[in-house]
Amino acid sequence: MMVTMIAPLHLVALAVLSSLGYVAYLVIYRLYFHPLRHFPGPKLAAATLWYEIFNDWFRGPYPGSTWNIDHLHRQYGPIIRKAPNEISIQDPDYLDTFFAGGRRDRYSRQGGEGQGSVQGTLLASDHKRRRGALTRFFSKRSLTTLEPQIVEKVEQLSERIEEGFLKTGNVLEAGVAFGALTLDVITDYCFDQSFGCLQKPDLAPEWRHIFWQMLGSIPLLRNWTFVADMLFWVPQAVARWANPSMEQFFIMEAENQAKVLQVTKEWEADQVAKSEGRDPEKRGKRTIFYDILDSPSLLPKDKTTKRMTEEAFGMVVAGGYTTGKAMSNLIYRLHANPEWLAKVREELDSVMKSPHDPVTLAELQALPILTACVKENLRISKIIADNILMVEPDHALVYKDWVIPPGTAIAMNLYHMHMDENIYPEPTVFKPERWIEAAATGQDLDKYFAPFSKGPRGCLGVNLANAQMYLGMGVILRRFNFELFDVVEERDVRTMRDCFVGLESPESKGVRFKVVGTRE
């Protein structure tokens, strides 16, 4: 009897000793024999991923390793070893080399192919193919056909503001209002059927809560991606019990999947009609996801319902939340700096003599003060707060005197570039004049300006985002007068959390206004 009890104890002891031995071997290898052993940085970061996980999730008051990375660069210099297999470079002049024409793969600690969206695709070859199939929908040329749709949605927003907030005295949350605009634009463009936020008197504030809850979980999911994977095979009732906010995720997932399935059904019906020699059913317009299914350049794995649902998820979050957040921040900053609000309105009055005069995107983008305010707001808003990780699988890269071995993950952070005081003096201050002065002196500030990322890995919808910002802000500011309502910048506006997208404090009440009148 004693012998049978001892044997399992020996096995447990052996397992514990083996685990400790492996950990000791791993730490010694990473510190003294790893190809990155000579790069500067804290030894704890070189030894274990737990250093970054601690800073990303447990170190307060809010999660986000981005803030600690900036501290490390100030301590160790422009290149550091931030994790056992990862380097971080904080040098704006290296950005073009970093992206290098789309030849680099994106990096994930979990490996594999990554998520199905263009944004989440890891391999450069897959990314090029998937992005190429979508480029025409988001080009500057496409805006000539899309502009009337944006204008129509802006008019709907204007009607909601007048009926639901000006006449009633209700408080308007800018993030909800502009989020309703951008969400309806992107979903209508993707599926030929919007989520209908602008049809609701309250502008569907639940969608902002959905985005808020989902993005707030990013610091956890980027370190333990198996948690995200579990969501797709754990019963939804269990996931809801473990985390009630997952209800919002499932709502959005169901919406996106239903729309993808509807488009797939329409496409399949058209293929049957063609095979039988009949004309396909006439539809209002070809949508993005119909084109994905119809694209000869895409592979079957690019056209699965799962991948297209993930693509839809990425487009809805990027197109529906980030642009609305930027517009909300801009209207706040203009009202917090009334001298700039007056200058912008003077420009708007020059192209719209009366509040309801039609105006084109080209006319608004030609206004220098409005453009300076849009750019300065994007710079300071920290739309993308997270590190972007890329890897060159086959060749060594060189940064100054440092040779970075092939297969090394390299991180750069756009937020830190936009906060570089050598490029942008007083970087935390809203100073649109810096853009006006740069244009007058020939200084190329745009070289160091990438609020939606840059190059082939940059945001696919940047032209659409800009169009909505100019048309939406131009029309709404021309027509209405607002007063800030209980807005505290540190609580409600300033980015405090690195959740890939920069988020405000969890205590934020949003950027709120009273609509106090119309302009003549």
Give yes or no for a contact between 250 and 236, defined as CB atoms under 8 angstroms apart.
yes
197 CB-contact burial (10 Å; exposed 0-12 / middle 13-18 / buried 19+): buried
Residue tagged 């988020």 (tokens): 503
Binding residue per annotation — 197?
no
Q: Which of 137-146, 223-232, 257-266, 375-384 has the lowest mean pLDDT?
A: 223-232
274 vs 389: CA distance, rounded Å:
44
List Cβ<8 Å contacts ≥24 apart for 514-517: 514/169, 514/171, 514/172, 514/482, 514/483, 514/485, 515/161, 515/162, 515/165, 515/166, 515/172, 515/480, 515/481, 515/482, 516/481, 516/482, 516/483, 517/166, 517/480, 517/481
% pLDDT > 70, the chain = 92
Top pLDDT among 63 and 414 is at 414
- Token digits for 376? 């300065």
Residue-level pLDDT at 394? 86
Residue-level pLDDT at 4? 54
The angle that helices 305-317 and 174-191 make with each other, rounded to 10 degrees, is 150
240 vs 254: CA distance, rounded Å:
15
148 vs 360: CA distance, rounded Å:
9
- Token digits for 348? 């708007």
508 vs 158: CA distance, rounded Å:
25
Give yes or no for a contact between 335 and 484, defined as CB atoms under 8 angstroms apart.
yes
Say if residue 5's pLDDT is above 70.
Answer: no
Q: What is the mean pLDDT of the chain?
A: 89
Query: Rounded mean pLDDT of 417-440?
Result: 95
Q: What is the pLDDT of residues 510-520, one digit of tens each?
A: 999 999 999 99
Q: What is the pLDDT of residues 360-371, one digit of tens each?
A: 999 999 999 999
Residue-level pLDDT at 166? 97
Residue-level pLDDT at 341? 98
| Beta carbons within 8 Å of 81's beta carbon, 6+ residues apart | 36, 39, 40, 41, 45, 46, 87, 88
User: DSSP secondary-structure letter at 41?
Assistant: S
Residue-level pLDDT at 253? 80
- The answer to whether the predicted template modeling score (pTM) of the entire model surpasses 0.85 is yes
Which residue in 498, 312, 506, 226 sits closest to 388, CA to CA? 498
Residue-level pLDDT at 409? 93
Domains of the chain, each with CATH number or no CATH = 37-518 (1.10.630.10)
Q: Which of 103-112, 315-324, 331-340, 435-444 has the lowest mean pLDDT?
A: 103-112
Query: Rounded mean pLDDT of 340-356?
Result: 97
**Which of 227-241, 381-395, 432-446 shows the highest mean pLDDT?**
432-446
Residue-level pLDDT at 284? 66
- What's the full length of the chain, in residues? 520
User: DSSP secondary-structure letter at 102?
Assistant: G
**Confidence grade of residue 193 (pLDDT, cut at 50, 70, 90):** confident
Residue-level pLDDT at 60? 62
Query: Rounded mean pLDDT of 157-167?
Result: 97
**Confidence grade of residue 239 (pLDDT, cut at 50, 70, 90):** low
Q: Which of 26-40, 58-72, 163-177, 467-481 has the lowest mean pLDDT?
A: 58-72
Q: What is the pLDDT of residues 451-474, one digit of tens each?
A: 988 888 888 999 999 999 999 999
